Amino acid sequence: MLKRFAEDYLSRLALDFSPQPEVVGRLASFDGLLMEAVGITVPVGTVCRIGSGHGAVEAEVIGFRAGKTLLMNLGGPAPLLPDAPVRPVGQPGEAQVGSALLGRVVDGAGHPIDGLGPIRGAKSWPLAGKPQNPLDRARVTQPLDVGVRAINGLLTIGQGQRVGIMAGSGVGKSVLLGMIVRQVKADVVVVGLIGERSREVTDFLETKVAGEARKRAVIVAVPANHSPVLRIRGAMRATAIAEAFRAEGKRVLLIMDSLTRVAHAGREIGLALGEPASARGYPPSAIAMLPNLIERAGADARGGGSITAIYTVLADGDDGSDPVVDSARSILDGHIVLSRSLAERAVYPAIDLGPSVSRVMTDIAAPEHIAAARVLRRHLATYEENRDLILMGAYRGGTDAQIDQALAYHPAILDYIRQDADSAVSLDDAAGELVGIFGDG
């Protein structure tokens, strides 16, 4: 009687109480970075726990070789022993997204690190993004006010544009990013601090996104001492968060600092997997990863949302032919080059207008605005071409009318580029000032 009641009760619950086997592999080798496991078959991207007790660590599956599963430590000390158990604990490719993340700081694994408790009410989004038809991408037709006069006036950015800030170390990339974050006219700002110094995370929070700016910002922080897998996951997580906000129809500004550190993480993983090193030590997979990440930003023709992405690109040794710089330049919709010589002359932001370009400015700016910007560029180019002659005192006034004009306008050009880090210049004011000074040619 009791048996019949139990069978009838369990059948009505429609639950499957059949035992499920636990998948457990064994650690075959570990060289401090790369782990090899046997007896386990799981997809790439799966998170596994290796070891037991307090000495257990988490690692991500990154590939396979000779019948073995290759994993990479996700951070922390790894006091592992041979034949340690390897258990899958997480499926690949999910990120927490949504308004619950506004004002929060998370790490590469999505765990909050701001001391404000767990994130509740978040939604899920594929870490690698959702496939999108190219025809669903909208054209860049509306300008985005970033509050920086030189960018608004001379390198106008559009909603949905992808821009690179390219410079060597110590030229003012972080200060320029801070100006943009505080002053940009966007609904949400997503910042990925990938592979930079740990000190910069606190500095960024207290100086760049303090006050009201913090309420509309999401920070993904993965410093340089974290695992290369976590650094790449951090870049993908920041992009996934921005994609989810775009799907809600919001104007999103995505800042990635820096794209070069993401490529460095890809290089570490590629070399650990045995890929041959090519240009400057980068394996092919490290450079091929960049388009997949950058192409996820842009404007959505259906939902009306947009992701305007700004990526910082570190030019090692101020070398503009660096593989990461060259690859990013070919993919992005514009690039802003910072000049060390301008920074040494106390011109901040140190934007070098000659090699800088916005590929969408002609589509989003008024004709008189574009004409005035070209006049400024022409005067600046004439001055730079004859700079040595002028500084030596070898040029005599009245010899060349174009050089005379360039000399007359040069102080106004430098004053137009200069801007205090705490000040804001709207797009209309920047364009009006530019047309007022340089509109007559």
The whole-angstrom separation of Cα 352 and Cα 161 is 20
Mean pLDDT of 2-14: 59
**pLDDT of 14 strictly over 70:** no
* Percent of the chain surpassing pLDDT 70: 94
- Specify if 364 maps to a domain: no
- Specify if 175 maps to a domain: yes
- Specify if 322 maps to a domain: yes
- Specify if 15 maps to a domain: no
- Specify if 294 maps to a domain: yes
**pLDDT of 16 strictly over 70:** no
Reported as a pLDDT band with limits 50, 70 and 90, residue 102 is very high
**pLDDT of 21 strictly over 70:** no
Residues 57 and 80: beta-carbon distance below 8 Å: yes
Whether residue 114 sits in one domain with residue 76: no
What Rg, from alpha-carbon coordinates, does the chain have?
Answer: 26
**pLDDT of 168 strictly over 90:** no
Q: How do residues 377-417 score in pLDDT, each as one tens digit?
A: 999 999 999 888 888 888 888 888 898 999 999 999 999 99
Number of domains in the chain: 3
Residues 228 and 72: beta-carbon distance below 8 Å: yes
What are all long-range contacts of 59-63, with beta carbons under 8 Å and residues at least 24 apart? 59/35, 60/229, 60/233, 61/92, 62/229, 62/269, 62/273, 63/273
Reported as a pLDDT band with limits 50, 70 and 90, residue 201 is confident
202-240: b or e for each residue (b if 16 or more CB lie within 10 Å)? eebbeebbeeebbebbbbbbbbeebbbbbbbbbbbbbbb
Whether residue 256 sits in one domain with residue 219: yes
> Residue 55's CB: how many other CB atoms inside 10 A?
13
Length reported for the chain = 441
Q: How do residues 331-357 score in pLDDT, each as one tens digit?
A: 999 999 999 888 888 888 999 999 999
Q: Which residue, 45, 68, 88, sits at the end of a domain? A: 88
- Read out DSSP for 197-266? -HHHHHHIIIIIS-THHHHTEEEEEE-TTS-HHHHHHHHHHHHHHHHHHHHTT-EEEEEEETHHHHHHHH
Whether residue 153 sits in one domain with residue 174: yes
pTM (2 d.p.): 0.88
Q: What confidence score (pLDDT) does residue 27 get?
A: 94
Residues 165 and 185: beta-carbon distance below 8 Å: no
Reported as a pLDDT band with limits 50, 70 and 90, residue 142 is very high
- Specify if 64 maps to a domain: yes
Q: Which residue, 304, 328, 359, sits at the end of a domain? A: 359
Q: Which residue, 88, 117, 141, sits at the end of a domain? A: 88
Q: What CATH number is attached to the domain comprising 70? A: 2.40.10.170
Q: What CATH number is attached to the domain comprising 226? A: 3.40.50.12240
Q: How do residues 272-330 score in pLDDT, each as one tens digit?
A: 888 888 877 889 888 889 999 999 999 998 888 999 999 999 887 666 678 888 889 88
> Residue 195's CB: how many other CB atoms inside 10 A?
26
Whether residue 123 sits in one domain with residue 162: yes
Domain interval for residue 418: 369-439
Whether residue 345 sits in one domain with residue 214: yes
Q: What confidence score (pLDDT) does residue 13 get?
A: 54
The whole-angstrom separation of Cα 401 and Cα 125 is 60
Whether residue 208 sits in one domain with residue 260: yes
Taking the CA atoms of residue 148, residue 152, residue 156 and residue 157 in that order, the dihedral angle to the nearest 10 degrees is 50
What are the start-end ranges of the H helices in 14-148? none
Q: What confidence score (pLDDT) does residue 211 get?
A: 79
- Specify if 250 maps to a domain: yes
Whether residue 407 sits in one domain with residue 354: no
pLDDT averaged over the chain? 88
The whole-angstrom separation of Cα 309 and Cα 401 is 41
- Specify if 14 maps to a domain: no
Whether residue 247 sits in one domain with residue 350: yes
Whether residue 261 sits in one domain with residue 318: yes
Whether residue 77 sits in one domain with residue 103: no
Reported as a pLDDT band with limits 50, 70 and 90, residue 210 is confident
Peptide bond into 258 cis (omega under 30): yes
Residues 126 and 273: beta-carbon distance below 8 Å: no
Q: What confidence score (pLDDT) does residue 248 get?
A: 94
* Percent of the chain surpassing pLDDT 90: 51
